[in-house]
Each structure stands twice: as structure tokens, then as C-alpha cells.
Structure 1
């Protein structure tokens, strides 16, 4: 990709730049999800970029609060409407206040006080329409690779994932890091057996120790609950052990030094490649943590990723709110079956018809087109999956106003 400018990004008043200019409707509890979804559907049906996300529980979980705050202030988000039910622990006013403080258009209300379902939907549509009108005036400014944050995830891996799909994303990670951008990967539960390799990539002694600690915690968790990240579908796809799968999974992180280990909803403070630790620090309860690929990608997005790459050998259909998902496969049969869902085929790396530099250039051109507004297949289909499962991690450099 020779173009110096990646795209014309949306300038936010907090200094960040987005590749989308969406309104995000946030529900603070399951009871207000229906109203939020109906408001979003109204605008989606007329082609507006409006999405919804939120917490399903009426109980308090600090990690979920931090996630929702990061979505409300994400570079791809220009306006936020937070709707509560009226008796849950999470205050919609606090989420909206933080969004407004970051320069976003922001509003909130309780559906109990608004008069119930119908009146809440009407009120929400009015508010969102006003936000959309205002977002038309958001300035566009040049956005460069150094402004970009990308994420990498695996889902439905097979024998081609480590050899082609993940290898390609690793090359993209290297390119972005070499040109001043930021890349984030996670899935340490798919890094089993690679402790020494991962630690060796730490930029300094502190990061090396952080990687070692995160790895050991992950192994303890997986061992205690038998939740090693290899599934029957992976084995049907030709993988035999978690160690074999791990070698292929970690290829997606590229070869550059690891700059830091992030906690959930913590943003990188310097450029380069970062490892996201999603394992709880306490209350290691798998029912509260074990999630599917869309939920894992939502944690990458909470770290600030503008785009997430999802590598799948067996095939995948999902997308997420807030940031586009680019699905990549190295399996030509999977691509031929699922071209409506999968965005990019990396099979040329397996049969030798395309070199890694050429394919990386082709993927970077696709990346640029998506940053310029081209929709991914998940966006076209309307896929917006993902649940915010409870997690228990100690806050790291979290402002006091975010701890409520």
C-alpha cells in the first residue's frame, strides 16, 4: 500500500480519528435491550449507521462498566444514547456524561420514566435522528497508518489457519507496526506451549514478566476447568492438540516486539504490537468468562481497535457492533462455500500461486477501502453479535470517574 494517507477519518474532539461515524445505543440491562434494538432497527432499515450494545445483567461488574465506557468513547462512534430500565445498578447518566466529556453527542433516559416501550422507542428515535443530523457536520481529516489500531482473532480454525490465514494477518501486523500503527492480539489460551517464545518478544524486562504472569494465569485457568481452547470442529479441520493449534494461532501476532500486556478496556499507550490479557484475575468462574469469538472481539474493540481481523478455516459468519470485522480464510473450499460471509481468501499462500508480499499488499488495499467506507460482508449482512460476559480484573490506570 503506497498511499501515504489511509483515508479521510472522522475527527473527534478528544483528538482521536474514526473510520466510521455511527450512533451507538447502549442498554444498561437486559430489560432495556428491546427498546434499544427497535430504535436501532428503525434506522438500520433506512440505511443509517446506528448500532446497539450493552450489559445484560442488572448487577454491577466493573469490567463491563469499563467496556461500555470505551465503546461510548470509541473513535468510530460519534453519538451515544444510553437507555436504562430504571432499577438496575448501572447508571445511564454516568455513561452518557463520559461520552459527552469526550466530545460525543450524548443523551440518556430511563424507559420507566419515559412511559414504557412505545413512548421510549418514539423518544429514542427523535434523539437519534437529531444526533445523525449533527454528525453530518463532523470534520473529515487525513488518517494515516500511525493513527490506526487493528485487532486479530481466530475462530473456527483448521489446518490452513496457521499456514495461510493467520500467517497473512501476522504479516499485516508487522506492516502496521513498522509504519507506526498499533496492533492488538489476545487468545493466550491458544498460546499453550509457547511461553518462552512469547516472553522472548517482550520489549523489556517488565513486559517479559507481564507476559509470563499472564501466560501462567491462563494455564492455571485452563488446567483447573479443562477449558483448553481446542474444539471438535478444530479436530475435524485437521488439528490434533492445543499445542499444534497454538503454534498456528500465535502466528497472527507477527514477529515484532510486544510493547505491553493490556487488561480489558485498557488502551495501548505506545505504538506497535500489544497482547490483551482477558483471563480474570480473581473469581475464575468459566460460566462468567468463557465466551464465543464475537465477545472476544468486543474486548479487542474495547482496547480501541478500528478494525478486527477474524481468521477462520472452518468458516464464520459473525460481526460485531462498533468496529468492522474482516473475515479471512486460508481454506479454498470454505471460501467457495461462504463467499457471502468471508471477505478474503488466503489460499494462494498454500498452493504457491501468490507470494506473501503480494498478498499482504492486496490485503492492505482491502484494509484501506474499508477505512474509506466500504462495508465488510458482516456489515452488509447486519451481523452484530457478542455478549459482555462478567469478568474480574484489577483496574489498570483507570480514571476514578470510570469506577462506579
Structure 2
């Protein structure tokens, strides 16, 4: 696809993405009788913006291409000018050439080093925010944790943090698990890995872990499994040993008060852009996601990787069917094979539950023009830019590699981003075409609108309008550079729209894998 998107005609406006495509994408609502200039096709039915219209005859059972790739198979004969969507396009099996590492190429370093105003912790780790976090070992201690955090809310008790202006806030990250699960199973291991990643996250100046006391996920075992040591920065206690709810809340408040002076004693300073670890997310996608916001994010990722930074691509069910485009870019065959192994795990996981990998897109995605998971995946992969895939991680594992990496997560955004932050992401970039509302404490989250109509309708929730690419005002490369600059400002302390609105605590959703008994 060209880096500059030029509509085929001024009116009606449609977009061809590849010479081999069987469809073009409507940039405006197309009415019956409209003639698509440059295609020689007359529209036969109403086609909403963001949806596809056929420009060739496709026989039933034949593949349909967008991006030059298969997005599904015609479930009935399709004539030129017809709307192509769920009524005539379906999933189907086809062979994919993984060509492991065939297209791997070295990324030249950036000519000019970039920096942002980061926070350098005592051990050298770089933070983009400065919170105190309250984690829970089990759902049963969630109410106590939230009550402790509420005591320090600036919108309710502005005096509580008045003397600590360098502290971004006190947040309670609670969850619905921690007990009635297999004590030796994968589910508890994943939960502990997630909690351990958050407890050690550089964006937390201090962490308090609150338990109930009788849960499966015992705090001492959690700490030992994750190599965590209690101390001034990391404190723990249980509700039962504290004398009940009121006493536990009071005890927690005192713990936070004791951590605040040290947390406040920070100064931002210039640090290399390579210290950024960015989680890549898309949610509430539409037919424009793979054309504007995702490629713009991919262009910014390429700039970040050239600076020595890290980007985490995830949402395994939403790369399904397009994974061969990543395996070709794998650093080595072993990395590509690890990605395919995760795909196979998901196929088996879905089969055990009587589900299907192609149960995507969601209702909102379909309303926005996406028809199959193949189409969604091809657009979603664009977030990862064009550099090598350097490593593959399981959910919430610490990310140590630099450059573009992949973390195996569900497609559900809160669960996926929770795993990325547990792995070390200190910034999230989230593209949306339908208007997802999202935040991710303690990591700031930038929201990228795929189209100008969404930007105008929901600007209060969006940080960047990638619809300017569709409107012809900017190229993908230009807006990618703009986004990269915004990422650096955000990492340096500039607040995102989701932070202004207080998003981030309710979006902590660890992946629950265990059977609940």
C-alpha cells in the first residue's frame, strides 16, 4: 500500500489498497447508481462508509482479496458494484507460507537521537509516570484496596496529596480471581506473573499488596514465585490479620502515607527514547483501522525501533490468518516458530471450549465495515510497522528484547493491555474506529481515531486524528512522525485524554485461565 492515500475519485470517494484487490473501500456512503471512476463499476446497493464494494466478478467459493491478501471466500456469486460484507463473504481455510525469517532485515539506527523527560529509578529503570499502586491477591480484598485509594483521590480529598505534587496518584488495581482455582495450575501462575509484573513496574514508586488471608493466592507464595522482597517500596498485609475491613483500610492508609515522601522525591530528566516500551492495541476497529491509524502507529513504531526502543504487538486471535506476514520478518526461524506455536495453542484452546478462532470481528467491528477475522488481522498487524520480529513472549512475561516483539494475549483489550503492562510497557498506543473508551494505569494510553467523523464526535476521548490521512492532509509517514513526537511528550509527563477522565483502574483485567471450583 502506498504511504500517501489518494482517493480514486473526488465523488464518490473510494480507495483501492492493492492492484490485486477484488474490492475497494468506500470513503463516503455510496448510493445505488454511483459510478466508481477509475474502476468502471456502478454501485448496485447502498454501501456505508468504511465498507467494501466489489470491483470484479467473484464466483461462489473463490477467494476475495484486500491489501493484496485473502480476507475470506465468497459465500455466493458476487457481481461488480455489490456491497461485500457478511451476507456474501465468509471464512475458509487456505495455505499460508510462513517463510520463516525470509524478509528479516537489520534496522539502521536513527540519525538523530531522541529523548523524553523520564524518571530514573534508583536501579536505573525508566518510568513515564509516578504512582503508588495498591494490588490485591484476591477479589475478596478489592473493597479494602479501593477504599484506601479513594482516601487519596484528588477530586474527592484534594488535601491528601497536596504536599506531594510529583505523585501522579494512588490507584487500586483489583481483579476477580485469586481463589477457588488450581493451586498448581497455569491460571494461578499467570495471575501471579501479572501481579508480579505490576508490583515491579517502574511507574510505581511504591506498591501495597492487600490480601484477605485465607485465599489460594497467598501473598508469601506470590512474592516468592515472583522473586519479590518486602521493604519500604513494597509492603503487604492481610485483612483478616488486621482486624477486619475498617482496621485494614486505616492500616493501608498509613502505609501509603509512609511511602508518599519518598515517592514525591523525583525529578524528570532527559532520557533516551530507547527507554520506551510501548504496548500496541486496537479496539472498536472499523474499515479504516488498517488504512489510517494502524499504519500510522506502525510508522511511529519504526521510528521507535530505530531509536533502540521496544514495541509489543499482541492480541493473538486478531493476527490469526495473517501471522505469515510476521513470521517472514522474524529475526530467526526459531522466533517465527514460537509465534506459530502460540497460534496452534489458541486453535486447541478454542476447540476445547467449543469456540472458533474466527468468532471475530465484534458487532461494532462489523458495523464499521470489517467482515472476517482475516480482514481484521491484516489491518491489525499494520500496528507493528515493518521491522524484524525479535521475540515472542507468553502472557505477562517480562519483555527483555528490544525492537518489535510479540506477546501472546487474548484480543480483548483490557486483558491484552494488562499483560503488556505486566511485561514492562510504560506507554500504550490504542487505535479505534468506533470510539473505545480506555485507560491503563500506571501506563498512560494514547487514543488514535481512525477517521475524522469519530474525531469530531468523540474528540474529548481522542488524542490524535489519523483521519487526516484519509482526508489527504497528511501522509502516513508525516502523521507517524507526529505520533512519535506525541509519544515522547506523553512519556515525559503530558497527560492523555484518558488520564484527564480518570480511566485506568477498572481496566486492570488479568487473563483468567483456570477452572473455577
Output the TM-score relative to the length of structure 2: 0.69
Distance 1:269 1:387 in 2: 23
3-state DSSP class of the match of 1:243? helix
Counterpart pick for 1:72 among 196, 199, 203: 199
Distance 1:199 1:3 in 2: 30
* 8 Å CA contact 1:325, 1:378 repeated in 2: yes
CA shift for structure 1 position 124 = 1.0
CA shift for structure 1 position 102 = 9.3
Q: Deviations over 1:158-215 (max 9, x none)?
A: 0111000111111111111111111111112112222322211111111121122222
CA shift for structure 1 position 3 = 7.9
Distance 2:442 2:428 in 1: 11
CA shift for structure 1 position 78 = 1.2
Counterpart pick for 2:400 among 247, 269, 273: 269
3-state DSSP class of the match of 1:391? coil
* 8 Å CA contact 1:25, 1:82 repeated in 2: yes
CA shift for structure 1 position 101 = 4.1
Counterpart pick for 2:345 among 214, 217, 223: 217
In structure 1, runs of 5+ residues without a counterpart are 279-289, 393-404
Distance 1:246 1:389 in 2: 21
Distance 1:40 1:3, change over 3 A: farther
In structure 2, runs of 5+ residues without a counterpart are 1-109, 162-167
Cross-structure match for 2:258? 130
CA shift for structure 1 position 321 = 2.3
Spell out the pairing of 1:44-59 with structure 2 (5 A cutoff).
44-45=153-154, 46=158, 48-57=168-177, 58=179, 59=181
Distance 2:198 2:383 in 1: 25
Spell out the pairing of 1:226-245 with structure 2 (5 A cutoff).
226-228=356-358, 229-245=360-376
1:91 correspondence with 2:235: no
Distance 2:334 2:485 in 1: 36
Cross-structure match for 1:121? 249
* 8 Å CA contact 2:286, 2:432 repeated in 1: yes
Counterpart pick for 1:32 among 141, 155, 179: 141
Cross-structure match for 1:312? 432
* 8 Å CA contact 1:27, 1:36 repeated in 2: yes
3-state DSSP class of the match of 1:44? coil
Cross-structure match for 1:285? none
* 8 Å CA contact 2:289, 2:379 repeated in 1: yes
* 8 Å CA contact 1:55, 1:64 repeated in 2: no
* 8 Å CA contact 2:296, 2:477 repeated in 1: no
Distance 1:96 1:298, change over 3 A: same
* 8 Å CA contact 1:190, 1:249 repeated in 2: yes
* 8 Å CA contact 1:318, 1:378 repeated in 2: yes
3-state DSSP class of the match of 2:438? coil
Output the TM-score relative to the length of structure 1: 0.88
Q: Deviations over 1:119-168 (max 9, x none)?
A: 21111111112211111224644321111100101100001110001111
Cross-structure match for 1:164? 292
3-state DSSP class of the match of 1:65? helix
Q: Deviations over 1:83-112 (max 9, x none)?
A: 111111223345568686498712111111
Distance 1:102 1:357, change over 3 A: farther
Distance 2:312 2:376 in 1: 19
Distance 1:379 1:92 in 2: 30
- Structure with the bigger RCO (C-alpha within 8 Å, sep 6+) is 1
Distance 1:254 1:103 in 2: 41
